[in-house]
Chains A and B, each alone.
Chain A
Amino acid sequence: AQSVAQPEDQVNVAEGNPLTVKCTYSVSGNPYLFWYVQYPNRGLQFLLKYITGDNLVKGSYGFEAEFNKSQTSFHLKKPSALVSDSALYFCAVRDGNTGKLIFGQGTTLQVKP
């Protein structure tokens, strides 16, 4: 069955330091991978996606993600964190066969000044 795992409930990082939010997936067929961010009391905002092509995907607000097929991972990264990056981050995978979009449990990113 398709699934997405975000192994960390919370990630803490100091402003200016690099950040990584982890995501692993399991799907049948080709994976279409996404990262979304949610600010308090708001809907989700799209950050980036991997459909095919280069394994390093660049997205909004300076975020990027690396697709690793052998490790079935799609970790979100940013070279230098900002306090304003503090939010809830969701990894999602769209099963290429069924079309369903499955979200991970979310990781809270806390960036401290």
Chain B
Amino acid sequence: KAGVTQTPRYLIKTRGQQVTLSCSPISGHRSVSWYQQTPGQGLQFLFEYFSETQRNKGNFPGRFSGRQFSNSRSEMNVSTLELGDSALYLCASSFQEGPGELFFGEGSRLTVL
């Protein structure tokens, strides 16, 4: 069974641009969540989606948005990029909502210049 796939793995953007990151969950998984990982702030929760509905949202500005499609694939978008948005963005999937374990992708490393 294929794992969680995130694309692109690496990208470089400049301040003010926008970026879209993609996540394909494990087949059959309906819940997708996103996390931002930085050396200073650690792992911070961005959003969680289940069946195309946002279930939870972290404390990030409105520049960060996401969505989930009917096939459970998810995208997140960051507009008007800032230097501080440089991070590893991790996507995780699980079969259902609730306290089950998450399966993480290898992440998309975003560098903002």
Given contacts A42-B106, A43-B4, A44-B104, contact A49 B99 (CB under 8 A): yes
**From B33, B103, B105, B107, contact of A101 by CB (8 A):** B33
Report, as a range, how many residues of chain B touch the other chain: 20 to 34
Are B106 and A43 in touch, CB under 8 angstroms?
yes
The 8 A CB mask of B16-44 against A (1 = contact, 0 = none) is 00000000000000000101000000111
Closest residue of chain A to B109 (Cβ to Cβ) is A41
Q: Is the interface of B mostly helix, strand, loop or mixed?
A: strand
Instruction: Give the residues in chain A near B44, CB-CB below 8 Å.
Output: 103
Complex Cα distance, B4 from A104, in Å, reads 23
Q: Are B56 and A104 in contact (CB under 8 A)?
A: no
For the complex, count residues of A whose C-beta is within 8 A of B: 23
Give bound CA distance, A105 to B37, whole Å.
10
User: In the complex, what distance in Å separates the CA atom of A13 from the CA atom of B35?
Assistant: 30
Complex CA–CA separation, A44 to B43 (angstroms): 11
Q: Residue among B35, B98, B99, B107 with the most chain A CB within 10 A?
A: B99
Complex Cα distance, B103 from A45, in Å, reads: 7
A72 to B98 CA separation, bound complex (whole angstroms): 21
Residue B58 is within 8 A (CB to CB) of chain A in the complex? yes
Chain A residue with the shortest CB-CB distance to B103: A46
**A96 & B90 in contact (Cβ 8 Å cutoff):** no
Closest A residue by C-beta to B99: A32
- Tell whether, in the assembled complex, residue A45 and residue B33 are in contact, meaning their CB atoms are under 8 Å apart: no
18 additional contacts (CB under 8 A) given A99-B48, A105-B42: A32-B99, A34-B102, A36-B104, A42-B106, A42-B107, A43-B104, A43-B107, A44-B92, A44-B104, A49-B99, A49-B100, A49-B101, A99-B97, A100-B48, A101-B33, A103-B35, A103-B43, A106-B43
Offer 25 A-B interface pairs, CB within 8 angstroms, sorted by A: A32-B99, A34-B102, A43-B90, A44-B92, A44-B102, A46-B101, A46-B103, A49-B100, A49-B101, A94-B99, A99-B48, A99-B55, A99-B56, A99-B98, A100-B45, A100-B48, A101-B33, A101-B102, A102-B45, A103-B35, A103-B42, A103-B43, A103-B44, A103-B45, A106-B42
